[in-house]
Structure 1
Amino acid sequence: MNFPYFIARKYFLSGKKKNFINVISIISMVVVAIGTMCLILALSVFNGLEGLLRSMYGNFDPDIVIQPTSGKSFIYDSAYFDQIQSVDGVMGVSKVIEDNVLVQYKDAQRLVRMKGVGRDFDQFSGIKNVMVSGQFPLVRDSIAYALIGRGVQYDLSLSLKNDFYTLQMYYPKDIGPGVVNPSRMYNLLNIIPGGIFAIEKYYDDNYVFVPVEFARELLDYDNKLSSFDIYLEKGANSSQIKEVLQSKMGNRFQVKLGEELHSDLYKVLKIEKLFVFIILVSIIGIASINIFFSLTMLVIEKKKDISVLFAQGASTKLIRNIFLYEGCIVAFTGAGVGLLMGVSLSLLQQHYGLVGMGMESAVMNSYPVKIELLDVFLTVIAIVIITILASIQPAIKAGKSFSTHTLQ
């Protein structure tokens, strides 16, 4: 006859050792829950850090950059500019001249990365969102101003309130032999500090923004540029526009998405996230050994009872499924609780910032988190696989025990 599963399970779990086995099952649930919660939290933090970096770099980097394939500059041709602007989805194009220069403020000196940008930079760049003091436009009332990284400001002890001192910029000339006058060996221009920005340590410690006309005069670039910074319309397909631009500009230029400028950093984050996932899944796998032991103990204790179940109409498949379902109940209950706790804590951190950075100078007051459905899905898949691996051997052992007692 067809023996009902719930009757078989109730009978199967009765006995003197039931409480001990239940304790082991509860411990397994708790460990799986904690491991799952930690996995969701860790992956969410990595997602938050990646989102934070993209947000910070998005304030500095354009959507697309066009650079010469070889060398650090190229001869500007208005045809290039017209070709770029003719592409659908392009909102603005900024001419860029970039190089290392020596800056001096009062008696302090240091090398910086000067980036001369066009007027479209003022209109479309996100740098205005990270200004900490001063004003944003690089040109106001036909007067050129410099935007200075906070780290450069600290090194130079620069004050925006002091109107008596300007920022002096030096750049070596391409001179020939026989020049003995030191003043003829470099170009020197003065510019007024107009604002301080704070994005990320590397940019804050190295970059100074100036108008492209100022940079062209300082570097004697005449009709040369370093690159084009391109800003796209909201919702535009950046990858598709990149391909169109590359076909228009030819092999003399390389077209890169803004995020490709930091591809190595994003790759490192993804590798770290992968290793954290593997380590925490391994911990959950080790915790699932308790499921294996509890089910194995159940098989050993219930060998004779399996024969009784067979005599009452149970099949080999039913006996095997009892063990598989028991393992699934333990693991999935723990995983469900862990997922609920992990997602809940991540949402609380995301909205209320429960755990702070612990540093006053930090970019954010609390750790950034972001929940991705793919992470939740992969976590569930990993737990399903671990559960099957932990439960299948005791289930097979129960089937063999069933066959043995049948023969007897």
Structure 2
Amino acid sequence: MISKEHIIKRFISYVTIDTQSDPNSETTPSTKKQWDLANKLAEELKSIGMQEVTIDENAYIMATLPSNVKHEVPVIGFISHFDTSPDFTGANVKPQIIDKYNGKNIVLKKKENIVLSPDYFEDLHQYKGQTLITTDGTTLLGADDKAGICEIVSAMEYLINHPEIKHGKIRVGFTPDEEIGRGAHKFDVNKFGADWAYTMDGSQIGELEYENFNAAGAVVTVKGKSVHPGYAKGKMINSLYIAQEFINSLPRIETPEHTEGYQGFFHLHDVNGNVEQTMLKYIIRDHDKKHFEARKEVMVKLTNELNSQYGREIISIEIKDQYFNMKEQIEPVMHIVNIAEKAMKELDITPIIKPIRGGTDGSQLSYMGLPCPNIFAGGHNFHGRYEYVPVESMIKATEVICKIAELTAKRK
């Protein structure tokens, strides 16, 4: 049985190290502070008895648990990322442990009236009686994806200490910069050497995902002309108003706050401007490849229409693809999903097979030749002050890893 206290201690040792990534940096990792946890993880893997532990010049960590069976078994991998989101501060994380959660409001910061409430976050209801780890309301927690790292390390340690559990060769990998879309960019798939892998980067217990968004980023630049407002008639072009026109011309209900399931969206996440120039930054998401391409075309068409309306090239747009739906790469090898599903069922976990409304390292790795579905890590409300993780979910995720290893070794 995996110790709750051991899981809590390990997890807290990770989340109290600030590893926030930076999308504006061109280095890998994007922030020097990611090295603090990366180096700790490399040493910890060695200390629990993992072999072939490496950490490269970009902070990618890999390690091996050798097979303990004589017959040939596929090499499987487990992958998580150690950076945290730039959306909310990850400095000075002060986790709070809520033992035997009573199902009521959790006061994170009394002075500022910051409350984690089941009335708003309804998922809390399913964890009544369990042990929760929350923030203190001033930072994110970092369960995305330090819960995944904790589970992988704990599972490897458990397998090392329990050689009666038979398994093939297992590779583990920890990556920087996943939160800014670069986690797989410098991942050496050949060096990793697995037949397939799983990212431990999902949310609630039971999640098992092999579909994700097709993703692109768009930068819309509106050029204006600044003239003294007292003499501006017929001369001034206010880029802010034209940018507003662009924003209002996209479907208002096709945004993150109005969509779910397989529905795609346009998401305006940054605006920076003045009369002379305004820049809009969007992300474009859709599970369906045709709809994804159509969304990009909608933005290009709107740009052309506004330029035509104003009689000059006043707006420019740059669209860059970021990642694609891994479903195309996973469906030919669906047995890897079936193994994970069977592992959950044998542990009395109800599998929740659904599309990811986002992406993981696995989506890019799948297109790099490493099929890589996603499994729950247990956390909720990622990227903000209301993030929390049930300890029991982390224990179950750890058990799923061990069970997948065991089932893979039994395959004929």
Q: TM-score with structure 1 length normalisation?
A: 0.23
Q: Which has the higher helix share?
A: 1
